[in-house]
Chain A
Amino acid sequence: MSANFHSNELSEKILSQAFPFHLVIDQSGEILSCGQSLARKLKFGEADAIHIFDHFTVQHPSGIHEVSQLVKVKNKLFLLSSKFHDDLVLRGQLVVSENDTHFVFLVSPWITNVHLLDKLGFTLNDFPVHSPMSDFLILVQAQRVSLNDSMRLSDELTILNKESEDRVVRRTQALEQKAQELQESKTVLEREMKERERVEVELRHAQKLESVGQLAAGIAHEINTPMQYIGSSLEFLKESFIDLKELNVMITSYLSQDSLKQDYKSIKLLNLVNEVDLDYLCARGPKALTRSLDGIARVTEIVGAMNEFTHPDKKEMKQADINRALGTVLTVASNEYKYVATIETDFHELPLIECHLGDLNQVFLNLIVNAAHAISENNVENGVIKISTHICEDRVVVSIADNGTGIPKHIQHRIFDPFFTTKEVGRGTGQGLSISHHIIAEKHSGRLSFESVTGEGTTFSVALPITQISKQDILIKPDDGRDIAA
């Protein structure tokens, strides 16, 4: 190191640059010089004579009130607090000149937090370049960033926590709902399986009915032929009786001649005629034969009706007479109603209508059987089923009215539902009205409706269009006449 360097070479200017907050006082305590940043802050003028203790209190070391005491505490950590500026505390060290004539406070503001800097009105430029103030600021800043980081992380954690709690709650709810849905679909499935079973039973029943129907059709045909010749034979016999009657009269009047009264052969013949009771035979025979012929006619009628009723439907519609169809159904179903009700018909003349007759037969049968059941349930003595037909605009309307139990209001909206039934097991499948509705509304573009009063009876009406609007009629042909289907 250079031996030429002396302390007095450290000019006041350099001192002020290096320690812009320093203070130099003499033995009396008067401030001789002051660093530029501090001078600016304290607004010290060049000419002012200011005593150190007028302006500052020695905060540390404690108990120093006089300049004479300073010599003892040189090189110690010093804290000077301003009497005029709150928060301004100068921190540093006291250096004393060789012969104790001057005291130099090498101090700068004690900055304990960043805001203090602003509060005191200092900027970083007030500090010497070598000051660690900017490093201090960086470190304080780092601390702040870290604190912000951890606060943010803690917030995020809280939110995440809450979210995951919510998620657990939502999951649980979703699971519970799934379980409930599962339970519901199980119930639905069970119901569907039951219904399926019922449909299967119904189907088997229907198949049986179909084969019975076919059988009946076959039997009807088989019965028809012998019936025909039994009928004609009986007719023949009936004709023969006319001759026989004539013969009887002739024989009787011939034998009653006086000339023959003693004739042995004639007497024998007369005895024989009396024995045979030819009179009685002639009187009763034709009647018996007429009854038999009536019976045959009835059998033929029933067989014919059965044949007509069971005749399988073709795919296309056919022209049919609804009055006649109703008659057929009444014949076939007579066993169902004849013990509970009388039938009153009021058939008006109707045009032939386009329909699937087999299907319509089934509907009419169904409605008539239902009417009979309703009457028997109502336990009325004079059960009546009134069946009438008439034309209403372009429709044929059939109405079937009974004086049975009626349909309770609360189930009226359900009677066309599949499988809905009020009948005890075995009496009905609950399919009848649903199928009937399907046949009338869907297959024939008609309408099946009813009016009912509980305890008084029900009237079902079937309205059927006389002509069906076929799909071909709806097809609009393009202008050039080409067929779309082609």
Chain B
Amino acid sequence: MYGLVNKAVEQLVKVNFGDDKWQEIAKKAGVDQTFIMMKPYPDQVTFDLVAAASEVLDTPSKDILEAFGEHWIQFTVDEGYGKTMSLYGNSVLEFLQNMDSLHAQIRLSFPELRPPKISCEQNPNGQLVVCYQSERAGLAPMLVGLVRGLGKRFSTPVELEYLVSAEADSTSEKFLVTFSQRQVA
């Protein structure tokens, strides 16, 4: 994955737990270089970072990935992708429906991007059903965090539920997204 992702992991750790903890995690993961955001790195680097963070912070990988997903929304805005994001929708539903286009456009500057496929539909109860399909195994919890982050971004907090309760290393997943409360504009 691109250095942008690893850098976001680094920032998440540093902001919440301090530089020392990051050094410890990086060392454990065998990372001794500084990440270049626009350069692709082997996926294993990211997985190792998550595993090391889980160990050092004594937190399950699942929780780390969720936190990371949620952090990603703010991180990309901070890194200057806010305008691009605003192009792709003004609600969680609209945004998730446009996710594939967003990643497709992102590919313009990340030529080796291998983004997941994401689709989204609203059921009669007003809930969303999100389908996620990836080339990588085990990143579903990240999507949980991402969708939560989107909920926050659009001021419509959400709760997620796994519909296909798959194994930890599955590459596809279905979620049911429920809006916690209707935000009155």
Contact = CB atoms under 8 A, between A and B. Distances in A.
Interface stretch (A19-27, A144-152, A164-172, A197-205): A144-152
Nearest to B82: A141
Nearest to B105: A138
- Interface size class on chain A is 10 to 19
Interface residues of B, number: 18
Contact of A153 (B4, B36, B79, B81): B36
B81 A149 contact: no
A138 B108 contact: yes
Given A142-B109, A145-B4, A145-B79, A137 B84 contact: yes
Contact of A139 (B37, B83, B87, B108): B108
A215 interface: no
A398 to B, nearest CB: 68
Contacts of B123: none
A114 interface: yes
B38 interface: yes
Contacts of B81: 141
A137 B83 contact: yes
A473 interface: no
A123 to B, nearest CB: 8
A451 interface: no
B160 to A, nearest CB: 29
A123 B105 CA distance: 18
A161 interface: no
Contacts of B3: 149
Contacts, number: 48
Given A149-B36, A149-B37, A142 B86 contact: no
B16 interface: no
Interface string B86-119: 1100000000000000000110111000000000
B109 A153 contact: no
Nearest to A138: B108
A142 B109 CA distance: 6
A135 B102 CA distance: 11
Contacts of A294: none
B106 A138 contact: yes
A155 to B, nearest CB: 10
B80 A141 contact: yes
A101 to B, nearest CB: 38
A192 B106 CA distance: 76
B105 A139 contact: no
A134 B36 contact: no
Contact of B34 (A125, A135, A139, A153): A153
Contacts of B105: 134-135, 138
Nearest to A143: B109
B36 A144 contact: no
Given A141-B80, A142-B38, A146-B38, A134 B87 contact: yes
Contacts of B87: 124-125, 134
B84 A134 contact: yes
Contacts of B4: 145
B181 to A, nearest CB: 28
Nearest to A142: B109
19 contacts: A124-B83, A134-B105, A137-B84, A138-B84, A138-B105, A138-B106, A141-B83, A141-B109, A142-B38, A142-B110, A145-B4, A145-B37, A145-B79, A145-B109, A148-B37, A148-B79, A149-B3, A149-B36, A156-B34
Nearest 9 pairs between A and B by C-beta? A142-B109, A138-B108, A124-B87, A141-B80, A149-B37, A145-B37, A146-B38, A149-B36, A135-B108
Interface of A: 114, 123-125, 134-135, 137-139, 141-142, 144-146, 148-149, 152-153, 156
